[in-house]
Amino acid sequence: MKKIIIGLLIFGLTIQVNSQTVELQEAVISINYKYIDAVDSNNVPENVKKLEEAVLNYKNVEQSELYDDEQDTYSVSFYIPEGKIVAAYDANGKIVRTIEKYNNIRLPQVVLQAVSKRFPNWGIVEDVYYIKYQMEKDSLKQVYKIKLENEDEIITIKTNEKGAFI
C-alpha cells in the first residue's frame, strides 16, 4: 500500500512538471482559398508576392466603380513598377479571375535551365511573366515570354512554369 501511495505521488508530480504551453501560428481563413492554393507563393519573386497579397487583402469590393451588372463582378487593378494585376471579384469579395503581368522578374531555376540548354550561346535581354487564373475552371496558366539575343540576332520564346517550350 505504501508503494502504491508513493507511486501515485511521484506520478502526480511528474505530470505537472511536463506540462507546457504551445503557441500555434495564426490561422488564416480566407474566402479566396482557391486563389491561394493556385498561386504558389513560395517560388515567386518578392514583388509578385506583394502584389498578390494586395489582391488577397482587398476589402472594398462594394465601393468599386467598375461594377459589371451582367456578371455581378467588380474589376480592380493593382500596380507596382514591375507589374500589374487586374482582379475580378464577385459580390462577396471572392476572386473570380485574375490577369497578371510582370516585367523583367527573376526567372525560376527550371525555366533558366531549359532556356540555357536549348539556346546555349544566347543571353536573356528581357522577360515578361503572364498569369491567368479562373476560379470556375480552377485553372492557373503561367507563361514566360523571353527575349533572347545572340550577337545581331534577337528571338522571342515562350515557356510554361516548368520550362516546357510553347
- For every one of its 166 residues, what pLDDT tens digit does the chain have, with 9 covering 90 and above? 778 888 777 776 666 555 567 777 766 667 777 887 777 666 777 888 888 888 888 876 555 555 556 667 888 899 988 899 999 888 778 889 999 999 999 899 999 999 999 999 999 999 999 999 998 887 889 999 999 999 889 999 999 989 999 9
- Give the Cα separation of 4 and 110 in Å (integer): 65
C-alpha closest to that of 102 among 146, 58, 61: 146
Place of cell 492554393: 37
